[in-house]
Chain A
Amino acid sequence: DAGVIQSPRHEVTEMGQEVTLRCKPISGHNSLFWYRQTMMRGLELLIYFNNNVPIDDSGMPEDRFSAKMPNASFSTLKIQPSEPRDSAVYFCASSLSGAETQYFGPGTRLLVL
């Protein structure tokens, strides 16, 4: 298996632009997680899905952030409009079920100018 796949790996955009991050979980995994990592705040859980259904989005910072999982093999995290403070590394992770043994993707490094 190729592991969790994320795209793009790097994204540079201007403030106010829409940003869409993509994730393909490991085949057969039923849970998917989106995290954000910064030096100041460390690794934060934004939202997670079980069987394509959002379970907990309490970590989503504000309404500018949204996430979808239309099927078991694809999820998106969208920021609209983006702001400089959104600059971070965004990770997607998947697991067979729930929190246990999550496997992380390589991350998307987002820079908002």
Chain B
Amino acid sequence: GENVGLHLPTLSVQEGDNSIINCAYSNSASDYFIWYKQESGKGPQFIIDIRSNMDKRQGQRVTVLLNKTVKHLSLQIAATQPGDSAVYFCADSPGAQKLVFGQGTRLTINP
């Protein structure tokens, strides 16, 4: 079955450092991947997405890397700020009909 999981449930980084959040997926048919950020008491917020025909995509302070060979997805956040504290979810979509979410990684920023 489909399985999108995260290597680490929590990640703690120093303010100003770069953060890397990892995600593994198991469905080789997945062709679309997406990262969401969820702050306490709020709904998930779209960060960045990537299709399977790409291996890297950049946004503002964020980069998503896709390694299809090992079915691995990562989210890099540059110069982490206190406002980046949240739970980050990866999700994949085989066939672009629905998303399957991982369990999430909690990112905490140390001052």
Contact flag A105-B43 (CB < 8 Å), given A43-B89, A99-B32: yes
Query: B99: CB under 8 A from chain A?
Result: yes
Which residues 25-60 in A have Cβ within 8 Å of B in the complex? 33, 42-43, 45, 48, 55-56
Contact of A56 with B43 in the complex, beta carbons under 8 Å: no
Q: Give bound CA distance, A33 to B98, whole Å.
A: 9
- A99 touching B98 by the CB < 8 A rule? yes
Known A42-B101, A43-B101; judge A98-B96 contact (CB<8 A). Answer: yes
Query: Which residues of the other chain, A, contact B97 by a CB distance below 8 angstroms?
Result: 48, 55-56, 98-99
How many residues from B make CB contacts under 8 Å with A? 20
Chain A interface residue count, CB cutoff 8 Å, equals 20
Most buried by B among A45, A55, A100: A100
Nearest 4 interchain pairs by C-beta: A104-B43, A99-B93, A43-B101, A98-B96
Q: List B residues at the A interface (Cβ < 8 Å).
A: 32, 34, 36, 42-46, 49, 89, 93, 96-104
